[in-house]
Amino acid sequence: MVRDRVVEIFRKALAKGAAEGRWPAAAPAFSLESPRDPKHGDFAVNAAMVLSKAAGRPPRELAQAIVEAVRAVDDAGDVATLEIAGPGFINVRLAPDVWLRALERAVAAGAGWGRTKVGEGKKVIVEYVSANPTGPMHVGHGRNAVVGDGVQSLLRWAGFDVVREYYVNDYGAQVQTLARSVHLRYQELHGRTVTMPPKSYPGEYVRDIAARLRDEFGDRFLDAPEAEWLALFRDRAVQLVLGLIREDLAAIRIDFDRWSSEKALYESGTVDRFLRSLEEKGLVYVGKLPPPKSKKGAPPAQPQGDLEEGVSLSDDLLLFRSSQYGDEVDRPVKKADGTTTYFCADIAYHWDKRSRADILVDVLGADHGGYVPRLEAALDALGASRDDLHVVLIQMVNLTRGGEAVKMSKRAGTVVSLREVVDEVGADATRFIFLTRRSDAQLDFDVELAKRQTLDNPVFYVQYGHARLAAIARKAAEAGVPVPAFDLDAARTLEAPEEQDLIRRIASFPDVVSGAALAYEPHRIAFWLQETIAAFHSYYTQGKKSGERVIGPDPRKTAARLFLCRALKQVLANGLAVLGVAAPDRMESPETRDAVEDA
């Protein structure tokens, strides 16, 4: 990587100067950035500014000394110029051939260009979606799924050893509620009149599941006591709903390596063993929880929960000492009725995950933000570290149609399913649009815009750019221009500022990918793709104006430009691949589309 080469040169130079006693050895980390203004060179290095305090010398003076050390170390002649600028930046301009060779490497690496080893093969478990198996996925789950999948993909590209994991909450009260809802519909299918209570799942899929169970069991459980059918109905319903969820995920091209069942954690005894180890470590105690905080003026909130009859708030609970690890209060791991809490199983699950991986990533809805401190507390308490866990919070999605908000209400059952959206706008647009915003900012998803095949649709804009590059290659083939191999002499003709910009973009793509991976921010790739293709469109149109585009009268220039286009096409395809979006070689033109419709 070009960037790595510069870092290496500066490290050497700083070490050399330190060995000679010219400045302190234990220097704080310097950074390297790509300046916006090309006049500032290829990279700006702040080493002198960072070192200035420890060295007791003004930054610009120090910069001069560092520049000399860099020159002495750069025996390959990779650095063309070094300038001291502003408060003490060292602006580095590399020899043009350094960039051109990176271009050659990009094409040689092909579909692998952008893959790095910064992850050093460390094991990461990325847990995402983990939607409760109580119904099909809605749009909000879709964003979680796409961002999670993007994070997962980025980490893979950056050389981490990734496991994609879905935590199935198939144990608690919610899946029991599902089972009861199914049983009610099951009674209905046998001709009974039922009313669905407020705490039930009203969706049509519940009827479908009930129908399956009727076909399987007939009227065997029609009047049976709940104890006889609850677990059975629950397990069947969960299984069927997970089938729906898998279909929803498949529609946006998402798959998992592992489905971890909460129920299995109990049945295998993992939770019990975990609880015992908490006791041995003195991390839990029997006590009472302070009364819940209430809003000013309002009467104290009464927890409603699923407390058994006759169990009161004054009863003792088993509490986890999370407040000693930065949480607000201690959190219950066992309820007054002696059963364990969701939190208990979840930290057992995280403990299990931590034993299988070095780094954990949880992709959670923003409404679970308040849950994060206790999770971090748990990891610290258990002898791991909160730093082993990275939580990506996903803000809500507001669905709009031509700017008009689409009203959604869970209670009224008017929640728009992910599947409806994907069927309407397609997997590519769905995926890309979920990545056009930082995940911790709310997102307006406009269905009309996502469907539109115009430039204001970002997916379309990027895909069109790729198709245009493919068209250029086709044209060259038709014109009998051979597919060019890399030719350094020819490449040196790529002197236009736009060409230089594109070369640098192609060369630095691996840095973009690894940077996004380390920040867990797939949206960066989506933005980078838009910027890069915009740079190409601009270049292309300018060439067109001057009458000379890619294929021109000069065979050497033509070869060099075709090579550049080939590299660019590859890098766009790779960026889209990171995001799981298709890179088509041709777009259906509006004319063709109209013609087809007319026909």
Partner RNA sequence: GCGCCCGUAGCUCAGCUGGAUAGAGCAGCGGCCUUCUAAGCCGCGGGUCGGGGGUUCGAGUCCCUCCGGGCGCGCCA
- What secondary structure letter does DSSP report for 394? E
- Residue 10, CA distances (Å) to 31, 52, 116, 387, 483 in order: 10, 16, 21, 30, 38
Does residue 516 contact residue 527 with C-beta atoms inside 8 Å?
no
The residues near 341 (Cβ < 8 Å, ≥ 6 apart) are: 331, 332, 333, 334, 335
Residues 143-162 contacting RNA, CB under 7 A: none
User: What single letter denotes the amino acid at residue 44?
Assistant: A
Instruction: Using the minimum distance from each CB to RNA, give the nearer residue, 240 or 336.
Output: 336
Instruction: Using the minimum distance from each CB to RNA, give the nearer residue, 221 or 434.
Output: 434
Instruction: Using the minimum distance from each CB to RNA, give the nearer residue, 11 or 212.
Output: 11
Cβ 88 to RNA shortest distance, Å = 6
Cβ 165 to RNA shortest distance, Å = 16
- Comparing C-alpha atoms, which of 396, 391, 330, 333 is closest to residue 364? 391
Does residue 450 contact residue 430 with C-beta atoms inside 8 Å?
yes
Does 226 help bind RNA (rule: CB under 7 A)?
no
Does 460 help bind RNA (rule: CB under 7 A)?
yes
Total residues at interface with RNA (CB under 7 A): 117
Cβ 285 to RNA shortest distance, Å = 15
What is the rounded distance in angstroms from the CA atom of residue 523 to the CA atom of residue 546? 36
The CA-based dihedral angle spanning residues 470, 475, 477, 479, taken in that order and rounded to the nearest 10 degrees: -170
Residues 98-137 contacting RNA, CB under 7 A: 132
- Comparing C-alpha atoms, which of 109, 190, 118 is closest to residue 156? 118
Give the one residue of 250, 313, 477, 595 binding RNA; rule: CB under 7 A.
313
Phi, psi of 574 (to 5 degrees): -65, -40
Give the one residue of 250, 268, 542, 595 binding RNA; rule: CB under 7 A.
542
Residues 326-345 contacting RNA, CB under 7 A: 328, 332, 335-337, 339, 341-343
Does 40 help bind RNA (rule: CB under 7 A)?
yes
Does 590 help bind RNA (rule: CB under 7 A)?
yes
Instruction: Using the minimum distance from each CB to RNA, give the nearer residue, 193 or 312.
Output: 312
**Which residues sit opposite 359 in a β-bridge?**
124
Does 60 help bind RNA (rule: CB under 7 A)?
no
The site string for RNA over 356-385 (x = CB under 7 A, - otherwise) reads: ----------xxxxxx-x------------
Does 414 help bind RNA (rule: CB under 7 A)?
no
Would the CA dihedral through 456, 460, 462, 467 be positive or negative? negative
What is the rounded distance in angstroms from the CA atom of residue 577 to the CA atom of residue 596? 30
Which window, 15-23, 28-36, 248-256, 271-279, contacts RNA (CB under 7 A)?
28-36
Does 81 help bind RNA (rule: CB under 7 A)?
no
Instruction: Using the minimum distance from each CB to RNA, give the nearer residue, 110 or 369.
Output: 369
Between helix 555-579 and helix 96-109 the angle, nearest 10°, is 60
Residues 181-220 contacting RNA, CB under 7 A: none
Which window, 30-38, 109-117, 142-150, 157-165, contacts RNA (CB under 7 A)?
30-38
Give the number of C-alpha atoms closer than 13 A to the C-alpha of residue 413, restricted to the C-beta side. 11
**Sheet architecture: strand order including 443-446:** 404-405, 397-401, 443-446
Give the one residue of 7, 12, 15, 34 binding RNA; rule: CB under 7 A.
34
45 SS3 class = strand
Does residue 157 contact residue 114 with C-beta atoms inside 8 Å?
yes
Does 438 help bind RNA (rule: CB under 7 A)?
yes
Does residue 396 contact residue 353 with C-beta atoms inside 8 Å?
no
Instruction: Using the minimum distance from each CB to RNA, give the nearer residue, 214 or 317.
Output: 317
Give the one residue of 22, 105, 246, 468 binding RNA; rule: CB under 7 A.
468
Does 301 help bind RNA (rule: CB under 7 A)?
yes
Instruction: Using the minimum distance from each CB to RNA, give the nearer residue, 248 or 521.
Output: 521
